[in-house]
C-alpha cells in the first residue's frame, strides 16, 4: 500500500515534491510510521525510482524528484500483479502456459482466465499464441538483421476486461 501511494504521489509531482509534504501525504493515506516511509524512500532511491536533493541554504529541507519512466514501469508491473492476484481469487480461474524455442530465444506464454470452457482448449490456445509469437519474432529479427544477446529479456503484460 505504501509503495502504491508513493508511486501515485511521485507521478502526480513530476517537477518534485518537498519531503514534509510527501511524508505527511503518505502518512495520511497509509497510517504507517515515518520510519517505514523513510525506509521506503531510501529503497526507492537505491532502485533509481526517485532521487533527493537537499536545499543548499537549509539542509533540513529535501525535495524528491521522480524518475518518471521507472515510476510508470513500477506502477504498470504492480497493476499487472494485482490484476492476476484478483483473477486468481475467482473460483473459475484457469491457468495454462506454453514454451517455444527458436533463434536461440525461449518464449514462454502464460494465460490466466475466468472464461470457463475446457482446460484442453485453453492449452491449445496458449500453444498457438506461443508459436505465432515465436514465428513473428523470428521474422522481425531477420528483417532487422539484429543479433540477440544472451542476456536479452522481454516481457509483456496484456490484460483484457469487459
- What DSSP string runs through 37-98? HHHHHHHHHHHTSEEEEE-SS-TT-EEEEE-HHHHHHHHHHHHHHHHHHHHHTSTT-EEEEE
pLDDT in tens, 7-25: 889 989 999 999 899 999 9
Please state the length of the chain. 162
Enumerate residue ranges in the chain where pLDDT < 50.
Answer: none
Residue 65 φ then ψ, to 5°? -115, 130
Query: Which residue, 134, 158, 162, 161, is CA-closest to 148?
Result: 134
Residue 161 CB-density burial (10 A; 0-12 exposed, 13-18 middle, 19+ buried): exposed
- Could you tell me where in the chain the CATH 1.10.10.10 domains are found? 2-68
Look-up of cell digits 526507492 = 44
> Which overall architecture, per CATH, does domain 2-68 show?
Orthogonal Bundle (1.10)
At residue 122, the pLDDT reads 87
Residue 160 φ then ψ, to 5°? -130, 135
pTM for this prediction? 0.67
Amino acid at each position: 500500500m505504501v509503495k502504491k501511494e508513493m508511486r501515485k504521489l511521485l507521478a502526480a509531482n513530476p517537477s518534485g515534491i518537498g519531503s514534509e509534504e510527501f511524508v505527511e501525504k503518505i502518512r495520511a493515506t497509509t497510517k504507517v510510521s515515518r520510519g517505514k516511509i523513510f525506509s521506503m524512500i531510501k529503497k526507492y532511491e537505491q532502485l533509481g525510482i526517485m532521487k533527493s536533493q537537499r536545499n543548499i541554504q537549509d539542509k533540513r529541507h529535501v525535495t524528491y524528484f521522480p524518475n518518471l519512466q521507472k515510476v510508470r514501469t513500477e506502477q504498470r508491473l504492480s497493476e499487472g500483479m494485482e490484476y492476476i492476484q484478483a483473477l486468481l481469487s475467482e473460483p473459475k480461474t484457469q491457468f495454462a502456459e506454453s514454451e517455444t524455442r527458436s533463434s536461440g530465444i525461449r518464449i514462454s506464454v502464460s494465460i490466466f482466465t475466468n472464461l470457463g470452457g475446457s482446460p484442453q482448449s485453453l492449452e491449445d490456445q496458449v500453444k498457438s499464441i506461443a508459436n505465432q509469437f515465436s514465428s513473428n519474432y523470428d521474422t522481425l529479427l531477420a528483417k532487422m538483421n539484429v543479433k540477440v544477446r544472451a542476456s536479452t529479456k522481454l516481457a509483456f503484460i496484456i490484460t483484457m476486461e469487459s
